[in-house]
Amino acid sequence: MPVSAKFLPETLHAALGADFFDEVEPARFPKTILRYRNQRWAARVGLDGLSDAEWIAHFARFEPLPGAFQKPLALRYHGHQFRSYNPDLGDGRGFLFAQLRDVEDGRLLDLGTKGSGQTPWSRRGDGRLTLKGGVREILAAEMLEALGVDTSKSFSLIETGEELIRSDEPSPTRSSVLVRLSLSHIRIGTFQRLAYHEDREGIERLTAYVLAQYFPQLAEAERPAEALLRAVTARVAKLAASYMAAGFVHGVLNSDNINVTGESFDYGPWRFAPTWDAGFTAAYFDEIGLYAFGRQPGAIAWCLARLAECLLPLIGLQTAQRIAESYADLMRAAFRERLLFRLGLDSAGEEQDAALAKSFVDFMLASRAPFEQAFFDWRGGLASLARAEKSPAAALYESPFFAPVRAALAPYRASAHAHLDHPYFAGVEPCTMMIDEVERIWDSIARRDDWGPFEEKISQISVLREACSLQA
């Protein structure tokens, strides 16, 4: 059947002009085996009525969606990679396939790809994605969404029948093409490319576009570049706080991986931390721990400073410094908010919220408590005392380390979104996404083509998402 009447395509990115992208041809794959379709989010954009054959036509062969781009757009950008500037970046194995509107709130969204073939920016790469990489991206995005992190959504995964050689995987390995649904694919690196070419007019044009499409309340701002930097600062501060509250390590927080909307995306060597370990790293090649768990807020601040540099000709040094200096306070406030969300508590005031955040983090550091277990056990605060006493980590809550947390929790009550009566919280252990779980899921697929453990994990995450939803 055709797309539904709710489907609202856009082609707004093309209006930026040809200097911002290259039209490209998708790869042609020998096979197209549908492995995952995100029906929940397909309904949000009016594509849930597609048959599997139609889905494959659009998201493996990349036949244009009605009213969308007639040719995919490989986006141009630069960026700092592990603090080294690279002017040869761009969409090297992906492209912007389509833009469309969220049925529920009208937001502009992107459908972008990963593993869809070579582009002018492939830099001798094959433009492909391993099936394992696609599976891992789905698991990361699903888990982060359930934990309340503003993340891209894995929309589609199709196995493509090619054998790929990779140095970090047993090879040959299976191939896939992923489609992700994102709020935007405009990165800090997009601005860096324009600054590199001293394209002030391009920066002004991109600034106006970003404000109009993603910060419409600021579209008529008297000083648009300043308004943009303030808005992005607030968004990326929340991103950093969300990673810390979720125990997530992105692994590669380069400036081309920081979106101007503050939405998390592009999951390569990610990990969830077993405990609150500031030095815990995700990428085997991050030998100095530049993007370790505890360094993520600083890494994001460093990338934000690169955006400020791009906007200096429009806002001046003093204004840029003032805005940059606001990041730390914004991040701490966002972390308090995310901590309360995860614990299912309403704010008791800034001072008390700060005391709770400090005592909780101090406890996690000192006790080495299992990260997700601690949040699970104390969902709802002291209202969950009896449940916490039955936890596998119960002994830790009797230690002196926990006494300040218990005292800090005293004035709090479970909020409406705590959902303590949800069946999820009747269990003893939380849903987790540790690396050994991910490897077991992949092992079942690689050895036996058994997708059962993958589907079971997606089902478990769905229950977690429902239990942690803000909907009362």
Separation in Å, CA 200 to CA 12, 117, 283, 321? 21, 32, 36, 20
Residue 157 CA to residue 409 CA, distance in Å, equals 43
Residue 33 CA to residue 56 CA, distance in Å, equals 8
Q: What angle do CA 424, 341, 303 make, to 5 degrees?
A: 120
Residue 422: other Cβ atoms inside 10 A: 15
Distance of CA 59 to the CA centre of its chain: 21
Q: Tokens 């912007």 label which residue?
A: 96
Contact 401, 332 (CB under 8 A): no
Q: Residue 55: in which H helix or E strand, if any? A: helix 52-59
Residue 11: other Cβ atoms inside 10 A: 13
Amino acid (one-letter) located at 397? Y
User: Under 8 Å CB-to-CB from 298, ≥6 apart: which residues?
Assistant: none
Q: Of 261, 236, 246, which Cα lies nearest the Cα of 330?
A: 236
- Collapsing DSSP to helix, strand or coil, 352 comes out as helix
Active site residues: 256
Q: Which two tokens stand for residue 168?
A: 């970090």
Paired strand residues for 182: 110
According to DSSP, the β-strands at 153-164 and 73-75 are: unpaired
First-to-last alpha carbon distance for the chain, in angstroms, is 35
Separation in Å, CA 331 to CA 213, 298, 326? 24, 10, 9
User: Under 8 Å CB-to-CB from 456, ≥6 apart: which residues?
Assistant: none
